[in-house]
Amino acid sequence: MSVLKTTNLTKKFGKFTALDGINIELMKGEVFGFIGPNGAGKSTTIRVLLGILKATTGEAKIFGKDAWIDAVEIHKRIAYVPGDVNLWPNLTGGEVIDLFVKLRGGNHKSRREELIKKFDLDTSKKCRTYSKGNRQKVALVAAFSSEADLYILDEPTSGLDPLMEQVFQECVLEAKNAGKTVLLSSHILSEVEKLCDRVGIIRQGKIIETGSLSELRHLTRTNLIVKTKRPITALHEFRGVHEVVENDAGLSFQVDSEELDLIIKHIGQFGILKLESSPPTLEDLFMRHYENKGGVS
């Protein structure tokens, strides 16, 4: 069942096109990673989905309803965490959490207490005194203690330390296991790799790649380190072999996934002493996109 869907979504700010035909769809129960460099259009997409910005053309639907027209109704069922949380300076963290949870009509005191403990948050301080990381925690506790069907998280972990990043990941997986849907925008690829079923890569307002992590990996390269009895010859004559480096560990290189079979057969003739392979990381894929298309914007 489709929970969130955009169709040819565009957003212009004056003459500048921030979103240029965005198509993404999230199915119920999935964690979708929305990744791209700064300025790519992640937050703009999310603001349109939240009904904060009106799309120039195209459609944004959540729970089958229009993100702009039906915003009030949609908001009863979503929780949102922005990357830079601004809170009421004179309320304490605890008061803000209570307020958010009340606004959403839920009352899950035990869940709230559990999350406050997990995130190691001192809720008695005025928000004015909180660091960025602590403001982030307030928003995360509020979001994950509410009974939402869809969590929209826009770079929610900027400012969290690694220990809290871990707690955050547990929260996302709990939500997923409870059948909730999560849109997670991020530029932290390891986070996305750990949590997401599918990802969409956005660059300069366009989705340049979308699919499951394994589908995306298929497009990319496997890293190999090989030691053989006899020196490998003619490796460079094969298509799909990249970045060949000889060092103490052996011969290390990358192979396009579709050429892997041929390459393994070839090196097999030289008497394999050692063969290490590691799958391409999302980072590799991501960087390749920028190499091919003219650098990180």
Question: For binding to ligand ADP (CB under 6 A), which residues are involved?
Answer: 13, 16, 18, 36, 38-44
Min separation Cβ 85 and Mg ion, Å: 13
- Of 43 and 146, the one with the shorter C-beta distance to ligand ADP is 43
d(CA 239, CA 242): 9
From the list Mg ion, ligand ADP, none, which binds 106 (C-beta under 5 to 8 Å, kind-based)? none
Residue 265 contacts which entry, Mg ion, ligand ADP, none (Cβ below 5-8 A, type-dependent) = none
Residue 40 CB coordination number (10 Å): 25
CA 264 to each of CA 80, 223, 257, 274: distance values in angstroms, whole numbers, following the listed order: 48, 12, 11, 12
In the bound state, the residue with its beta carbon closest to Mg ion is 43
- Find which of ligand ADP, Mg ion, none residue 38 binds, CB within 5 to 8 Å per kind: ligand ADP
Question: Please, which of residues 33-52 interact with Mg ion by CB under 5 A?
Answer: 42-43
**Would you say 43 or 145 has its CB closer to ligand ADP?**
43
123 is an interface residue for Mg ion by CB under 5 A: no
Q: Across the strands, what pairs with 233?
A: none
Give whichever of 123 and 185 is closer to ligand ADP, judged by the CB atom.
Answer: 185
Q: Is the separation of the CB atoms in 19 and 48 below 8 Å?
A: yes
Residues that contact Mg ion, how many (by CB under 5 A)? 2
Non-local (6+) Cβ contacts of 287 within 8 A are none
Site string for Mg ion, 213-252 (x = CB under 5 A): ----------------------------------------
Closer residue to Mg ion (CB): 42 or 112: 42
Smallest distance from the beta carbon of 77 to ligand ADP, in angstroms? 23
**Cα 125 from Cα 116, distance rounded (Å):** 13
Q: Is the CB of 42 or the CB of 61 nearer to Mg ion? A: 42
Question: Which CB atom, from 42 or from 198, has the smaller least distance to ligand ADP?
Answer: 42
Provide the CA 86 distance to its chain's centre, in angstroms: 22
Least distance between ligand ADP and beta carbon 205 (Å): 7
Question: Which lies closer to ligand ADP via its Cβ, residue 2 or residue 38?
Answer: 38
On whether the CB atoms of residues 274 and 225 are closer than 8 A, the answer is: yes
- What's the maximum distance between 2 C-alpha atoms anywhere in the chain? 73
d(CA 59, CA 70): 13
Q: What angle do CA 204, 33, 61 make, to 5 degrees?
A: 80
Residue tagged 């020196």 (tokens): 231
- The region that residue 30 occupies, defined by phi over 0 for left and psi between -120 and 50 for alpha, beta otherwise, is beta
Which residues in this chain contact Mg ion in the complex, by CB under 5 A? 42-43
